[in-house]
Amino acid sequence: MSMFDKILKEIKPTDKEKLEINNKVNEFLILLDKVNLKYTVGGSYSKNTWLTGKHDVDIFILYEDDKGISDKLDKSLKKIFKKYERIHGSRDYFLINYKYLEFELVPVLNINNYKQAKNITDVSQLHVKWVKEHISRLSDDVRLAKQFCKANRVYGAETYIKGFHGYLLEILVIHYGSFLSFVKNASKWNECEFIDPNNHSEFKSEQKFPLTVIDPVQPNRNVASALSFENFNLFVSICNKFLKNKGLSYFKEKKINIKKYNLVLKAEPLNGNRDVVGTKMLKIFEKIKYELNSYGFEVKDSIWFWDRCGYFCFKVKKKLSKFEKVYGPPVTNKEHVAAFKQKHLKCKFGEEKGKVFVIKAREYTDVRKFVKELIKDENIKNRVKKIVL
């Protein structure tokens, strides 16, 4: 058994799992038929690129005009479901849990061309159609690509991840012809790499992107626009390492050992859209890291992750000296020196390397005391239900 076969045995849904999910999806669609909804099934389930245990099903509810279609769908769902959640966005959509399977119902315009779209979600059905027409025997290669990215923490287009998402990986695997070919080509990517599978680009932007992949169904769109430079460079590096020493470890999701960090905060996330909630927690992580470095606690290593709770992990200096040297303006700038001295009236002054400095007592010398005070900040408190050290 090849290495890839071993990986697929772990990540590919079994026939039994497929049959179980298919039956539930068919039952759910029968319910939609009762209220005469016109629909098409989307997502990785429809494209046969889903991973085992990943049981979310996207269904696009098709309408001939976009006037109040979220409200129309809401009205229809009330007739067949007692409980569901309406998610607010550029156009509201709905989450329904049916027999432990989560369905995402998205109202869209029934279109044949991206130019007919009135909302970004309208084009999603065309993405599904394109992948299904071109994926041929590459479903398992896409699964390998997804698992490779997941294991190396670069999977997901959400703002708090800024990585590779499913549709982007599907395009790249189809474009290069296999998972291995995709990785080989990605290992040679340069920053600002440009890929246009259909050679039809109409994309224009003043923004600099690490990777531009032109949407096969929407030539004015970069499918990789969410990818950060950090994750792009990380992915290229991982591809190079994998090609030098292929191994199963590159497909294994690694648990983060929080014991290697000497400062760990635990947060209970807010309810709501996962991208919005995750982005708020990312802001907290970035603020804490910034404040630690600014105060002098020097963050040597840091990471954050989110399961049911968020964890913000830092390796820092635990103690600081009681006093610190704070530099001011050049001694030749008399006006600014006077203002600097006025600001620090009770401190000891000196001159060094052409600048005035002051020796002042630190308010905090212990990192835990500093952070306990920091997390009382409204910009942190308001972004989670609860955060503790």
Q: Answer yes or no: is 338 within a domain.
A: yes
The residue type of 230 is E
The per-residue pLDDT for 349 is 87
- By CB neighbour count within 10 A (0-12 exposed, 13-18 middle, 19+ buried), where does 105 fall? buried
- Here the tokens at position 93 are 């959509």
**What CATH number has the domain bearing residue 291?**
3.30.70
Q: Answer yes or no: is 150 within a domain.
A: yes
Beta carbons within 10 angstroms of residue 114's beta carbon: 17
380-389 pLDDT tens trace: 999 999 999 9
**210, 234, 251 — which closes off a domain?**
251
Beta strands (DSSP E) in 25-172 are 39-42, 56-63, 85-87, 93-98, 101-109
Query: Confidence band (pLDDT; 50, 70, 90) for 55?
Result: confident
Confidence check: pLDDT of 237 > 90: yes
Higher pLDDT, 124 or 331: 124
What is the Cα–Cα distance from 154 to 232, expressed in whole angstroms?
Answer: 8
Q: Answer yes or no: is 133 within a domain.
A: no
Q: Answer yes or no: is 101 within a domain.
A: yes
Same domain, 208 and 156: yes
Q: Answer yes or no: is 130 within a domain.
A: no
**200, 221, 251 — which closes off a domain?**
251
**What CATH number has the domain bearing residue 172?**
1.10.1410.30
The per-residue pLDDT for 28 is 97
Say whether 121 sits in a helix, a strand or coil: helix
Mean pLDDT of 271-275: 82
Query: What is the rounded average pLDDT for all residues in the chain?
Result: 94
Same domain, 25 and 113: yes
Query: Confidence band (pLDDT; 50, 70, 90) for 348?
Result: confident
CA 46 vs. chain centroid, Å, equals 22
Beta strands (DSSP E) in the chain are 39-42, 56-63, 85-87, 93-98, 101-109, 193-195, 211-215, 218-222, 263-268, 301-306, 310-315, 323-330, 348-352, 355-361, 386-388
**Residue whose pair of structure tokens reads 């994926």 in the numeric block:** 135
Strand-pairing partners, residue 61, are 39, 107
Same domain, 16 and 56: yes
Mean pLDDT of 348-365: 89
Query: Confidence band (pLDDT; 50, 70, 90) for 78?
Result: very high
Q: Answer yes or no: is 168 within a domain.
A: yes
Same domain, 376 and 337: no
Say whether 355 sits in a helix, a strand or coil: strand
**What CATH number has the domain bearing residue 102?**
3.30.460.10
The per-residue pLDDT for 268 is 94
**95, 124, 153 — which closes off a domain?**
124
The per-residue pLDDT for 342 is 87
The per-residue pLDDT for 213 is 98
Same domain, 381 and 263: yes
Rg (CA), the chain: 26
From the list 204, 207, 211, the residue with the least C-alpha distance to 227 is: 211
What is the Cα–Cα distance from 168 to 149, expressed in whole angstroms?
Answer: 12
Judge whether 63 and 110 are in contact, CB under 8 Å.
Answer: yes
192-225 pLDDT tens trace: 999 999 999 999 999 999 999 999 999 999 999 9
Q: Answer yes or no: is 131 within a domain.
A: no
**Residue whose pair of structure tokens reads 């294994």 in the numeric block:** 252
Judge whether 17 and 55 are in contact, CB under 8 Å.
Answer: no
Q: What are phi and psi of 172, to 5 degrees?
A: -65, -40
* CA contacts within 13 A on the Cβ side of 16: 0
329-346 pLDDT tens trace: 998 998 998 898 888 888
Percent of the chain residues topping a pLDDT of 90: 83
Same domain, 264 and 382: yes
- By CB neighbour count within 10 A (0-12 exposed, 13-18 middle, 19+ buried), where does 199 fall? exposed
Domain that holds residue 331: 323-361
Same domain, 63 and 117: yes
Percent of the chain residues topping a pLDDT of 70: 100
Confidence check: pLDDT of 81 > 90: yes
Same domain, 115 and 172: no
- By CB neighbour count within 10 A (0-12 exposed, 13-18 middle, 19+ buried), where does 321 fall? exposed
Query: Confidence band (pLDDT; 50, 70, 90) for 326?
Result: confident
Same domain, 269 and 245: no
Judge whether 209 and 261 are in contact, CB under 8 Å.
Answer: no
What is the Cα–Cα distance from 274 to 262, expressed in whole angstroms?
Answer: 28
Same domain, 153 and 92: no
Confidence check: pLDDT of 254 > 90: no
Q: Answer yes or no: is 273 within a domain.
A: yes
Query: Confidence band (pLDDT; 50, 70, 90) for 80?
Result: very high
The total domain count for the chain is 4
Confidence check: pLDDT of 156 > 80: yes
Element at 281 (helix H, strand E): helix 274-295
Same domain, 11 and 47: yes
Mean pLDDT of 349-372: 91
Same domain, 181 and 94: no
CA 295 vs. chain centroid, Å, equals 29
